Chains A and B, each alone.
Chain A
Amino acid sequence: GENVEQHPSTLSVQEGDSAVIKCTYSDSASNYFPWYKQELGKRPQLIIDIRSNVGEKKDQRIAVTLNKTAKHFSLHITETQPEDSAVYFCAPTRGNTGFQKLVFGTGTRLLVSP
């Protein structure tokens, strides 16, 4: 089955610093690469995604980069703020066309200190 790993498992940064979280996967058929954010006690919510025909996507302070050859994609957060503190999950797709399902990574806990 799909093997999804995230690094690091925890990340502590000072407000204003940048944070990078890496996700590696094993299924070469994966073609959709989202990142979800889950605040304490809340539901996971999509924050950014990228498809296999794009190498990088940016949305204000967050960006995702994809390296399909190496089978990894990364979440970049610049100018971090305390409200960025949460657990972040990558979830590359797997499965047949039209019936794809997400496989969530183990999560990265980001703590942004003021």
Chain B
Amino acid sequence: DAGVIQSPRHEVTEMGQEVTLRCKPISGHNSLFWYRQTMMRGLELLIYFNNNVPIDDSGMPEDRFSAKMPNASFSTLKIQPSEPRDSAVYFCASSLAQAGGSYNEQFFGPGTRLTVL
């Protein structure tokens, strides 16, 4: 298995532009997570999906951020319009969540380093 795939790996854009980050989870996993990592705020969960349905988006900073999961093998995180304070590394992770509370490892993608000028 190729693991969690993210694209692009690096993105440099100007303030006000739209940014779309992409993620392909591990085949067979039913949960997908978007995280943001900065020096100041650490590793923050933005949103997570279970069986393609958003379960908790309480970590999404504001309306400029949106996430979709149209099918089990693809998710996007969009920022529109982007601002310099959005500069961070964005990680996607996936896991196999099991009914009854049994918890399994989250596998992280390589991340997308976003710089907004």
Interface residues in chain A, defined as those with a beta carbon under 8 Å from any beta carbon in chain B: 31-32, 34, 42-46, 49, 51, 89, 93, 95, 97-107
Contacts and interface: CB of A to CB of B under 8 A. Distances in A.
Nearest to B59: A101
Contacts of B111: 43
Interface of B: 33, 42-45, 48, 50, 55-56, 91, 97-101, 103, 105-106, 108-111
B45 A101 contact: yes
Contacts of B109: 43
Interface pairs A-B: 8 shortest CB-CB? A97-B101, A43-B108, A104-B43, A32-B103, A46-B105, A106-B42, A98-B99, A44-B108
B91 A101 contact: no
Contacts, number: 50
A14 B42 CA distance: 26
A46 B106 contact: yes
Contacts of A42: 110
Contact of B55 (A31, A32, A99, A107): A99
